[in-house]
Structure 1
Amino acid sequence: SAALRRLVEAARGSEAGRAGARKAQAAADRFMMAMAGDLPGYEEAARALYAADADRFRHHIAGWPADVRGYAERLAGAAFGS
């Protein structure tokens, strides 16, 4: 039926979204560990990343060098649905 087809399509889209978010989290985390692991706020930013808390993430990376901060934000974007 059409209703069942819509439910299946919605579930697939939701699953794909979660997979994309997990990939973004992993990519951002790898980058952050390599480039910012010793910077202030790293651990808190990683926790915010995995909690999908974009505001808290941005707060904790605010003092990082602009290029590192910008790339981390770009990589993490899908983790926050942006």
Structure 2
Amino acid sequence: MKKSLIAMTSITYAMKAKNLLNSLKYYCEIQRTPKDLGTGCGYSIAVTAPPEEITAILEKERIPFRNVIFEQKR
């Protein structure tokens, strides 16, 4: 299973995104953005669903994010 990190603009928006995605039954956790990939506020959400699907939900709900940082196998 792949895990994608989506860099957030603030910890507040990371928490809002996590609550929203969990309520929609998506796996989501907040984690620190790796320092070598540092962007945004330093926090990302880790998701297992396709990142395009997640970013579409965030855009629809007007939760700002920076970008999809990378995908890794879990």
Task: Output the TM-score relative to the length of structure 1.
Answer: 0.37
Comparing both structures, which one devotes a greater share of its residues to helix? 1
Higher relative contact order (CA 8 A, sep 6+): 2
Comparing both structures, which one devotes a greater share of its residues to strand? 2
Task: Output the TM-score relative to the length of structure 2.
Answer: 0.39
